[in-house]
Amino acid sequence: MHACIHRGSHEIGGSCVELRSDGQRLLIDMGLPLDAPGDSARFVPPIAGLDGSDPSLLGLLVSHPHIDHYGLLNYLSPKIPVGMGAAARRIVKAASPFMRNGLPSISEGWDFESGVPFDIGPFRVTPFLVDHSAYDAYALLVESGGRRLFYSGDFRSKGRKGKLFHVFCDDPPSDIHALLLEGTTIGRPEPRVSEGMVQIRMERLFSATPGLVLVHSSMQNIDRVVSVFKAGRKTSRKLVIDLYGAAVLEATGNENIPQASWPDVALYIPEFQLEKAKMLPELMERYSRFRIDLSQICFNPGRYTLMFRPRHVDDLGSEGCLDGAAYVYSMWEGYRERGDNAKVDEWLAKKGVSSYSIHSSGHAGTSDLQKLVSCLNPHKVIPIHSFSPERYREVFPSVEMHGDGEWWEV
Please report the DSSP string for 161-183 in residue order.
TTHHHHHHHHS--S--SEEEEE-
**Beta strands, E only, 345-387:** 354-357, 381-384
Please return the burial class of 336, using the count of CB atoms within 10 Å of its CB with bins 0-12, 13-18 and 19+. Answer: middle
Per-residue model confidence (pLDDT) at position 82? 97
Per-residue model confidence (pLDDT) at position 61? 98
Please say whether the beta carbons of 27 and 13 come within 8 A. Answer: no
Per-residue model confidence (pLDDT) at position 63? 98
Two domains, one topology: 2-189+362-409 and 195-357? no
Alpha helices in 19-162 (DSSP H): 67-70, 86-95
Of 215, 225, 228, 231, nearest in space to 247 by CA: 225
What span, in angstroms and rounded, lies between the C-alpha atoms of 268 and 162? 32
| C-alpha count within 13 angstroms, C-beta hemisphere, residue 318 | 16
> Can you give the pLDDT of all 410 residues of the chain as single tens digits?
999 999 999 999 999 999 999 999 999 999 988 877 655 888 999 999 999 999 999 999 999 999 999 999 989 999 999 999 999 999 999 988 887 666 677 889 999 999 999 999 999 999 999 999 999 999 999 999 999 999 999 999 999 999 999 999 999 999 999 999 999 999 988 999 999 999 999 999 999 999 999 999 999 999 999 999 999 999 999 999 999 999 999 999 999 999 999 999 999 988 888 877 777 888 888 888 889 999 999 999 999 999 999 989 988 877 779 999 999 999 988 888 888 899 999 999 999 999 999 999 999 999 999 999 999 999 999 999 999 999 999 999 999 999 999 999 99
Q: Which residues, listed in sequence order, are joined to residue 149 by a DSSP beta bridge?
A: 142, 178
What span, in angstroms and rounded, lies between the C-alpha atoms of 394 and 289? 57
What span, in angstroms and rounded, lies between the C-alpha atoms of 269 and 272? 8
| Cα three-residue angle 227-229-234, rounded to 5 degrees | 95
| C-alpha count within 13 angstroms, C-beta hemisphere, residue 140 | 28
CA distances from 361 to 10, 66, 182, 198, 258 (A): 20, 14, 14, 10, 22
Q: Which residues, listed in sequence order, are joined to residue 138 by a DSSP beta bridge?
A: 129
For 178, other C-beta atoms within 10 Å of its C-beta total 24
Please say whether the beta carbons of 339 and 312 come within 8 A. Answer: no
Domain ranges of the chain: 2-189+362-409, 195-357
Please enumerate in sequence order all residues whose Cβ is within 8 A of that of 388, keeping only pairs 6 or more positions apart, or say none. 183, 186, 187
Per-residue model confidence (pLDDT) at position 103? 66
DSSP 124: E
Alpha helices in 107-176 (DSSP H): 163-170
What span, in angstroms and rounded, lies between the C-alpha atoms of 387 and 224? 26
- How far from chain centre, in Å, is Cα 389? 22
Angle between helices 163-170 and 366-376 (to 10 degrees): 30
pTM over 0.85: yes
Residue range 195-357 forms a domain whose CATH class is: alpha beta
| Cα three-residue angle 364-367-370, rounded to 5 degrees | 95
Residue range 2-189+362-409 forms a domain whose CATH class is: alpha beta
3-state secondary structure of 127: strand
- Based on its alpha-carbon atoms, the radius of gyration of the chain, rounded to whole angstroms, reads 22
